[in-house]
Amino acid sequence: MHDEVIKIAVLAGTTRERRESIKAAHYVADFGRRLDGVEIRFVDPKDYYFPGDGNDPEGKDPRYTEVTEWADAFFIVTPEYNHSFPGTLKRMLDSELATYNHKPVALAGASNGGWGGVRAVESLVPAVRETGLVVMSWDVYFPRVQDIFEENGQMKPEHVERYEHNLGGLYKELISFARVLRQLRTTN
């Protein structure tokens, strides 16, 4: 019935050299790769370059433009920096506009404390909403992210059941929205 592949761009939120949240971002991407009918592309902001602020042609990275055109949906994994999300992520998001419109986005937060980046996610909601992305009504959190994964990025066994459950539910929702919104974009 649903024979068209859903294409999801998973965005990591920071370029920090010692970033822990990158493990959570890779986990989210790898989880998506195991789902039927889903194609995942991983966006590491370290691999992109945005010369200046804004979304004028000279402020874009064409490779990021291409990813956002390609994607039916987005999954952003952000760490919390000073009760918000990193400037790198804002810069990257700001560089496009039309290619986000009427596409769903799921959010995940990560922090080294017990809140799991909830304030980063809360501050991200109005920003992504303004771009035309449609935000899912729940999120996934990685509190004490440094304790959830092994050094090599593997999730520790005691956490797997919880994240499989939470992430499975959120991906299901994201994919459902992606199908419906793709219909909307093609009929509009």
Ligand X SMILES: Cc1cc2nc3c(=O)[nH]c(=O)nc-3n(C[C@H](O)[C@H](O)[C@H](O)COP(=O)(O)O)c2cc1C
Q: 3-state DSSP call for residue 7?
A: strand
Q: Which is nearer to ligand X, 146 or 183 (CB)?
A: 146
CB of residue 82 to ligand X, shortest distance in Å: 5
CB of 115 to ligand X, least distance (A): 6
Three-state SS string across 121-161, please? HHHHHHHHHHHCEEECCCCEEECCHHHHECCCCCECHHHHH
Closer to ligand X by Cβ: residue 72 or 139: 139
Pick 16 or 41: Cβ nearer ligand X: 16
Q: How far is the CB of 119 from ligand X (least distance, A)?
A: 7
The smaller minimum CB distance to ligand X, of residues 104 and 109, is found at 109
Residues near ligand X (CB under 6 A) are 14, 16, 19-21, 79-83, 110-113, 115, 145-146
The nearest distance, CB 105 to ligand X, in angstroms, is: 19
Q: Supply the minimum distance, in Å, between the C-beta of residue 142 and ligand X.
A: 8
For residue 134, report the phi and psi dihedrals to the nearest 5 degrees: -105, 115
Q: Which two tokens stand for residue 106?
A: 């799921």
Cβ neighbours of residue 180 closer than 8 Å, sequence gap 6 or more:
none
Work out the angle between the directed axes of helices 87-94 and 118-131 (0-180°, nearest 10).
Answer: 10
How many other C-beta atoms lie within 10 A of the C-beta of residue 99?
18
Nearer residue to ligand X within complex by CB, 32 or 117:
117
